[in-house]
Amino acid sequence: DGGITQSPKYLFRKEGQNVTLSCEQNLNHDAMYWYRQDPGQGLRLIYYSQIVNDFQKGDIAEGYSVSREKKESFPLTVTSAQKNPTAFYLCASMTGFGTEAFFGQGTRLTVV
């Protein structure tokens, strides 16, 4: 079955560490997105990519970085510059006509 796979499901980060969240899709979608969700809040856009080797900052890109070397993969790195990284991170891809966005199961990141 087609879908989006995020890993790991839970991730713990020590202060000052960089961590990378994986996002893989087999839906053949060009557009992929990373969102952050804080408890009781809506989703906020971190980065998005419309095509391989191209990506754009979203509303809260500071302290994050991404790459898009393959159509199927859009990993997110949470750097030590992100001062409050504890959150739920969701990866998404969108159909060509933009009528449906598919989401992964999410990664819950906690700073310890």
Partner 1 sequence: AQKITQTQPGMFVQEKEAVTLDCTYDTSDQSYGLFWYKQPSSGEMIFLIYQGSYDEQNATEGRYSLNFQKARKSANLVISASQLGDSAMYFCAMKRGDWPRMGGNMLTFGGGTRLMVKP
The phi-psi region of residue 83 (left if phi > 0; otherwise alpha if psi is between -120 and 50; otherwise beta) is: alpha
Find the shortest distance in angstroms from Cβ 104 to partner 1: 8
- Binding to partner 1, residues 20-79 (CB under 8 A): 31, 33, 35, 40-45, 48, 50, 56, 58
Q: Closest approach of Cβ 77 to partner 1, in Å?
A: 20
- Do β-strands 10-13 and 107-111 pair in parallel, antiparallel, or remain unpaired? parallel
Q: Which of 5, 17, 28, 105 binds partner 1 (CB under 8 A)?
A: 105
DSSP code of 76? E
Contact 51, 70 (CB under 8 A): no
Does residue 89 sit in helix, strand or coil?
strand
- The binding site for partner 1 (CB under 8 A) comprises 31, 33, 35, 40-45, 48, 50, 56, 58, 88, 90, 92, 94, 96-103, 105-106, 108
